[in-house]
Structure 1
Amino acid sequence: MTLRLRGVRYRYGEGVVLAFPDLDVPQGGRLALLGPSGSGKTTLLHLLAGLRVPEAGEVWVGEKNLAALGEAERDAFRRQKVGYLFQDFHLMEGYTALENVLLGLGLAGVRGASALRRAREVLEALGLGHRLDHPPRRLSTGERQRVALARAVAHRPALLLADEPTAHLDRPRAAAALELLLQTAASLEATLVVATHDPWVAERFPQKVDLGALASWEGV
């Protein structure tokens, strides 16, 4: 899925606006968003996911300008086309690993036997076949991350967004997690956008944008 940003500005609170650089990402592209905390990395991921709308500008994801859609249309588009890996995973503690993935599939409209089969397949592919009935509290950090990844990709999204996917991991585990993320995106032929503060992670991506250098705060 192609991405295109033009003239995007997002307003925060009392008259402060974050202006993003124009951006183009090809179908199946790999983009790393660099920058320190507060530079707008997560905000840009939210704009690409349709979780936020800009004050001005266009956010094209494939053939849809998300900035021009209503909330219900953005929600439907996100459920069908976008996979989001949150920094803090956002797993439901009262549910098992399998049930967490099933919840995500249900939101995308995949239910019943088809959803159960797909959830099991993706968890087993990520090495969690022996953890299907475990709640998040009984999983390691790396295992929780893989459950979150399974939930993000089980509905086979065309756009995969990941917010600081290596932030909780030491270097060996971070390398394994990053490789898993890249391989999963490749298997889906999905466009991948990763927000990171780590230049080591960004080295694996052919396209990089340093929001700390390019995005600008404007007092209004």
Structure 2
Amino acid sequence: MLTVGWILLVICAVAVLASVMLLGQRDSRRAGLQRRFGPEYDRVLAEHADRRSAERQLRQIADRRDALTINPLTQTDRATYTARWETLQTRFVDDPAEATSLADALVGEVMRARGYPAGSFTERAELLSADHPRVVAGYREAHKQTTAKPDGKGAAGRRDTESLRAAFVRYREVFNQLVGVTAGAGSHAGSTGDRTNRQDRQDRPAAGLAATPGQQEA
């Protein structure tokens, strides 16, 4: 009888230990997702009925991103893209709507050049959120503003200039991140390196970028 009691005690102890380990692993995975996705974690959580489904989606996004090889731009490509961005900034003065639409296209082009797949805007934003979560919300808002229908006061592109200016600035933040950082080669460790000191770089323009027309930036 005593032996049976000890066996039951050991079984209970093992069950408790296993539960603690599972909880620890779950908490560790959750903390990892929160570190990696930052504000995106809260956004996805708000869109789901429960935390488990939200975290499942984020893990799927992280897995898709980590399967990619995201390469840094060459110095030549960086200089070329920077010059094209500066041209868009000048163009914004005369045609804000056209310049903002071209900024959207240029960001997508830089993403493809670095190794992000061509696809829908939703897919691009999701993959970007795994590397640059602090600018992807602005990217979504800028794209929404850029693709919005005209306000009905005239020809296409006759939208609120200040809204377009705000969208252009958000595109520039994404552009700076894509042009000015060096990513790893498709591993989680590499993407972590791509995110190092991201918050410090958040509002720091890439070399050669001037302020958006009409905006004074620190």
| Bucket of the pairwise TM-score, normalised by the shorter protein | under 0.3
Question: Normalized per residue, which structure has more helix?
Answer: 2
Higher relative contact order (CA 8 A, sep 6+): 1
Q: TM-score, normalised by structure 1?
A: 0.25
Q: TM-score, normalised by structure 2?
A: 0.25
